[in-house]
Structure 1
Amino acid sequence: MYLHGTSTINSKGHLEIGGCDTVELAEQYGTPLYVMDEALIRQRCKEFVDAFRKSGLPFQVAYASKAFCVMAMCRIAEEEGMSLDVVSDGELYTALQAGFPPERIHFHGNNKTPQELEMALDAGIGCFVVDNFIELHMLNAIAGEKRKKTKVLLRITPGVDAHTHEYISTGQTDSKFGFDLANGSAKQAVSEASELPHLELLGTHSHIGSQIFEVGGFQLAVEKVIGFAVSVRAELGVTFSVLNLGGGFGIRYTESDTPLPVAEYVAAITSTVREQFAKHGYPLPEIWTEPGRSIVGDAGTTLYTIGTYKDIPGVRKYVAVDGGMTDNPRPALYQAQYEAMLANRAAEPEEEVVSIAGKCCESGDMLIWDTKLPKASTGDVLAVACTGAYNYSMASNYNRLRRPAVVFVKDGAADVVVERETLGDLVHKDVVPERMKPVSKAR
């Protein structure tokens, strides 16, 4: 397993993250356990902010909280000078409870409810990313009722097919997101938005997908958006002041993944913006971006305890852990791949090829197929790398399993930022109607 961030193998032969022995973490907090390398998270934040600062362009880097949204993460985003991207009232509430400045919050989503729009308007968030005509007019009406004027971006689908899994590719024409450039709906949206009295149109938002390892897709998106901006200014007299290019920057999950350094992504994007906008004599806009996975993905490691195993001669050896698709549904959803090691025997040579199975009653509950490990035994601690993004945020209680705790580790200290669910938590919201309650039998 590739060692990310502050991860190392200590003198005991144990995996260590943030100066904390992961075997001791497993003993103290139980497993499954999400371990987040706080220093690496902060480093990734700084890389984005510093790269845009060096470009000389006005910018906002908004952390895409859907990747991993807890109050402690919102605190880090604010402390590192980032804005915040939310997609639901739950994420917005988390941010506000964490004390995140509402004026630096951007609200996304293809089906925002009237209640969510009201909540965000009341909070005074900085911008709505409007996804469709229904939302456009609903937001204007609600803002009017509250006698407010709010800033908006229009999400457009630029027709760029990113080279990624079809489930996480979002910039193509056939998408549930945004106003399409090709069929004219994007231009119609600009026309309508610019006339609505309670909306201030800043510009456009586009997002071409996730886990992208090249700059070409981003550059093509910039070219398409500037072409759109030029035509809109000529035909409608509307000039955009903000260009939001979304996120999607890839990370290394396995050896086959080859992400670029953050600075290279940013340099390619900002140089293309300068070139294209100068070419058309268009004033340089403020550039916004929304990294999520690339901020927290490789900072996360999930610890499991190995339980049973099953060896099928000539076929495969299954090694089962005390978690699975309930704490990491990505392999089941879109065949995501991961690397792992035995945290308590990290220095030992690999002896066998095994497949890591979860404990859910699903044949598809597999975390890793065919990975090399030392000969695993019951009670060993398995560490799966790069689980910081879309693991905790997608976790479920399927089979009535409890969602794991989350700890931040830094400089030898571990802090619980999400407590492990208890059995009582599982039934806390259950209600048994009076007619179904057991009747005590008289003796």
Structure 2
Amino acid sequence: MAVPAAAPLPCPLLLAVCWAVAAGMAAGAKILPSPSNLNYSFIHICTLNWTWSPPENISSSCNLEYSSDIVINGVPEDRREWSKSRFRVTDALLNEEMRLRVRSECKNDNTSEPSPWVETSLLPQGILGTAAVDLGCVWHNLEYMACTWRRGENASSDTNYTLFYWFDGLENPKKCSNSSVDQGIFECIFNLTFPKVTSTYPTISILVTDDSEEVRPVCASKNPTTLVKPATPRQLTLTKTNDRIDVKWSESETFPKSCLLYEVKYCNGDLDIGQIIASEMNSVSIAGIDANSKYTFKVRAKPKRECYNSNLHSDWSEEKSIGEKKDSTIYFVLIITIPLIVAVSTVILLVYLKRLKILILPPIPDPREILKRMFGEQNEDSQSSAKDDPINTFDRLIIEEEIHSLILTETSESTNPEKENR
């Protein structure tokens, strides 16, 4: 005879059973003891080694691991790590309050709960706002690193910052001695070279501090592959052949082969807007050029992603030009000059022709005007001399009669041709 199947439990009853089981497990769960003797020490500048001791009375069945977390100014950094090791190496943030907290956990064990957190703090030294700010570094041409920063807002004007650096391979931290200050910007340069065959580069630890205890130190860890800036390409040469221009420049002596990408920018004429051509070699050819145009070229370099994770370009090289551009200024000057020359020449010619006409056909003097001037002068002379010389009066009268007769004769001769013309 078949046994009837058990009836399913009602939904509220099922939830009650689940909560009871969970409560029983929680009541029976054991809280692990916390690690002890949590402490830190500086390995090198800007590098901390946090250490602790294991908890006591841990069951042999517990797969013990340690969970550690970094807290900056009371805010967790979400950089939690799980490890069986009893230490953790981190960067030091000397300008802010830094805490490390650790607890014990039995992985994959539901019968125990993690221990309470145990923590220790690294408190900043010095006055708030005196630390260097805007610290940045650039690795120039794989030869030297230049770091710049500004004075803290609460630092005095005579604050003398000093930069120290260290990376794996140096026995002790080194002091950067090539420092300068320009318009409130501090800069320090130190040599940084590695063999060309190097494929991995160590992290560079940078410490900027002051001898005074009132100035807060500041630390930074730099990945040098993200700071690479190539040198400006040099020896740019241009060669023109028919309708093609060949551009070439010198190769870098510090970068490994095939680790640089070049950008060639060329413009037609004096325009700033041009075309950019990418090249993996230190040369490029441009075909189809205009033989009557002037072209300007410049080049810059950029690290390849396969070699360095940097977005920094080199500076543009010095511009060089090839070809000749027709100068439209000459045409403009001719358009203005030619009409002006014609106008001036016409005026000069008119003035010259007027003078030439006067020389060839001089104006005929009016006899009446001449006689008037003559009689006017004679009358004045007769009046002045009549008083002194009454004897010459008769002679003047005779001369006047002769002149009157001459006028009548000329008048009659001039009227006859007019009648004939009519």
If the TM-score is normalised by the length of the shorter chain, which range does it land in? under 0.3
TM-score by length of 2: 0.22
- Considering fraction of residues, name the structure with more strand: 2
TM-score by length of 1: 0.22
Higher Cα Rg: structure 1 or 2? 2
- Considering fraction of residues, name the structure with more helix: 1
Query: Greater relative contact order: 1 or 2 (C-alpha under 8 angstroms, separation 6 or more)?
Result: 1
